[in-house]
Chains A and B, each alone.
Chain A
Amino acid sequence: MMAQEKIVPITMPKWGLSMTEGKVVGWLIDEGRELKPGDPVMDIETEKIANTFEALDAGTLRRKIATADDVLPIGALLGVMAPAGVSDADVDAFVTEFQASYVPPAVEEGDTGPIYHWVEVAGTRLRHARAGDAGPAVVLIHGFGGDCDNWLFNQDALAAHAQVHTLDLPGHGQSAKAVGDGSVATLARAVLGFMDAVGIASAHLVGHSLGGAIAIQCAAMAPERVKSLSLIAPAGLGVDINGDYLRGFISAESRRDLKPLLQQLVANPDLVNRQMIDDMLKFKRLDGVTDALTTVASAMVDGNAQKATLRDALGNVGCPVQIIWGVADRIIPIAQADGLPPSVEVHKIDGAGHLPHLEAASVVNALLVAMVERAR
């Protein structure tokens, strides 16, 4: 049975709360290839998104089980990794045993969705979700125009180490569309209010873009409640911002308008599929969204310049801080990660745009987990 212990299954990942199955688009590697964590393995498409599935473990791909166009439930066997010394017979035996014992997760009729909750914060109804039961609290704060589901590729990886909370900011996702003055401070108060409402005394904050600025603001307003900051392509650290993107995003009314805009978010434009665009349009077409986004954007940006800087605030933050930025970011230039206090760790991610947590999920997840573990 020594051999079996070295055999590692590659299984259908669970990307986000709502994923129950995925479709194999195609393998990106051949059998015999050595993998390290983060190496691309195959393209998988879900009803929400298409993305590249990256290796979680190191090893050698010995067997491809799934083939293109297979639609498989989460946890289903896609392939097998094992060192060269393991015999084909042992691999076969492993596969047989796995398939015999594999039970697809039950999908209850009428209750296939993830469990979202709503909470009232200062009169505003906010949607949120939670993954993971044990460990410190982590709050993931999405960016402009985003929602809970932006953390599809991150929340489950973190949930093994922490209680992971996601929320839809005011004006976003399925939260109420009232945003007050739409300022970063107002949104930061909403996040702190959310933490009060769900009983989080203090948390590791992870913020993307606008959510990054909000996270810094939270740390400035309530330092005792913030254990660490992980800022992904954060707003608030410099002047330049792609204001044309923001305005275009607000005014886009159709798939045709929206697609080229969303493609600016990522280094690989193929990531922007029909479902992602449709979901974004569905959000944008809710009553009140255009007004909410307009208010938030005008509070933040004037032309192609950010109105306020949080550089000083970040310098004064006492907790550990790391910055994660895609080298190919076309929304907020990565140069704004330079010149920060030496205590701030900066991780520049090659091959990623403004959404490194999606485009280089395993690298970013490792950094996020490391921060949580270190700053416990």
Chain B
Amino acid sequence: MARKILFQQAINEALDQEMARDSSVIVMGEDVVGGTGGNGEMDAWGGVLGVTKGLYGKYGDRIMDTPISESAFVGAAIGAATCGLRPVCELMFIDFLGVCFDQIYNQAAKFRYMFGGKAKTPVVIRTMIGAGFRAAAQHSQCLYPIFTHIPGLKVVIPSSPYEAKGLLIQAIRDDDPVIFCEHKALYAMEGEVPDESYTIPFGEANIVREGSDVTIVALARMVGFAQKAAATLAKEGISCEIIDPRTTSPLDEDTILESVENTGRLVIVDEASPRCGMAADIAAMVAQKGFASLQAPIAMVTPPHTPVPFSGVLEDLYIPGPARIEAAVRNVAEYA
């Protein structure tokens, strides 16, 4: 059994190992050093949640604090990527995409196509997603469907420490622009992670649990919730197969379709808003390509179509949890 570390340590280790391996890898973002220019410690914070702590001591000027100017520094990361660096840029919360989106979707995403295949933009934008911290409407969203919508971007959503490290190393080595979404509720998750460097290819879903009655597709934090639900359902005699796509762009359609072919029933769990989200997207895909296998309507377990609320009472209602997943699975399992 391999060593166990936290999700956030897995991220740090991936950055550390890639910065050690390749001098063109740089890290930039708000407070990623976390103390530049102050009167106290230089790398006091090491990221707003300490994820990049320790890298400054090892790599000095290759990790840079930025002004709170997302357009400028996200754009700078993109520009530097076209000029031979491999920047990993931290957009602290995905909610902040509104103040830098142009650089991502009009610039980075389109260079290669607009320039006739001659541009290479190996930039990674790391960003936190997800509710559960009472952080309210502007610090809790799961906006990855917006990026998934844009041709030219790759979108990665790890659900465990093992996934986090391997997918981040792949993202850094990948020659296309990558949006790397880290669910903040997973940072403290512990799991087995090899200490060596490794990669996980994009577009390959993980079959988290094998089962025969109902397919559950889940992302990020929802994967753990789906596992809890599946354990409960197993005692009732309902066997769930859980698929974690790991990347929404590219999306491993085959693994989902093959599973639905076996189970005939599909529940999609997505913490993003229901309209034009991943649940809707995957449901549409299966309805088109796997209709003949379906023995029940596809169920989507998502938050309501509202902003993320502040009050704990409301936020707990907002986030899809194991109980709602179980209910949805029972529904499709019982459908005759």
Asked if chains A and B are in direct contact (CB within 8 A), the reply is yes
A307 interface residue per 8 A CB criterion: no
A282 at the interface (CB under 8 A from B): yes
CB contact list, A141-167 vs B, under 8 A: none
- A217 on the interface (CB 8 Å rule)? no
> Considering the chains assembled together, what is the distance between the CA atoms of A180 and B199 in angstroms?
23
Instruction: Please indicate the chain B residues that have their CB under 8 angstroms from the CB of A278 in the complex.
Output: 206-207
**Is A287 close to B, CB under 8 A?**
yes
- Is the CB of B204 closer than 8 A to any CB of chain A? yes
The answer, yes or no, to whether B4 is at the interface (CB within 8 Å) is: yes
Partner of A110, one of B4, B199, B201, B234: B4
Question: B1 contacts which chain A residues (CB < 8 A)?
Answer: 17-18, 112-114, 116
Q: Are B194 and A174 in contact (CB under 8 A)?
A: yes
Cβ–Cβ < 8 Å partners of B291 in chain A: none
- What is the bound-complex CA distance between A17 and B197, given in angstroms? 24
Asked whether A286 lies within 8 Å of B194 as measured between CB atoms, the reply is yes
> Per-residue CB proximity of A301-327 to B under 8 Å, as 1/0?
000000000000000000000000000
**Nearest CB in chain A: distance from B152 CB, A:** 23
Chain B residue numbers with a CB within 8 Å of A288 are 196
CB distance from B2 to the nearest CB of A (A): 7
What is the size category of the interface that chain B forms with chain A? 10 to 19
Chain B's closest residue to A289 (CB) is B198
Within 8 A of B (CB), among A1-42: 17-18
Q: How far is the CA of A110 from the CA of B192 in the complex (A)?
A: 11
Contact of B196 among A113, A116, A287 (CB under 8 A): A287
Interface residues of B in 191-225 (CB under 8 A from A): 194, 196-201, 204, 206-207, 210
Indicate if the CB atoms of B210 and A174 lie closer than 8 Å: no
Q: What residues of A have a CB within 8 angstroms of the CB of B207 in the complex?
A: 255, 274, 278
Confirm or deny: B29 has a beta carbon within 8 angstroms of a beta carbon on chain A.
Answer: no
Tell me, rounded to whole Å, the shortest Cβ–Cβ distance linking A150 to chain B.
15
From B200, B206, B234, A69 is in contact (CB under 8 Å) with B234
Interface readout for A89-120 with B: 1 if CB under 8 Å, 0 if not?
Answer: 00000000000000000000010111010000
Q: Name the distance in Å between B241's Cβ and chain A's nearest Cβ.
A: 10
Question: Which residues of chain B are near A177, meaning CB under 8 Å?
Answer: 196
Contact A285 B210 (CB under 8 A): no
**CB-CB contacts below 8 Å: B154-184 with A:** 162, 166
Given contacts A174-B196, A285-B201, A286-B197, 11 further A-B contacts (CB under 8 A): A112-B1, A177-B196, A255-B204, A278-B206, A278-B207, A282-B194, A285-B166, A285-B198, A286-B194, A286-B196, A287-B197
A-B contact pairs, 20 of them (CB 8 A): A17-B1, A18-B1, A112-B1, A113-B2, A116-B1, A174-B2, A177-B196, A253-B201, A255-B204, A274-B210, A278-B206, A278-B207, A282-B162, A282-B194, A282-B198, A285-B199, A285-B200, A286-B198, A287-B198, A288-B196
Query: Closest 7 interchain pairs by CB?
Result: A113-B1, A287-B197, A286-B198, A285-B198, A18-B1, A286-B196, A285-B199
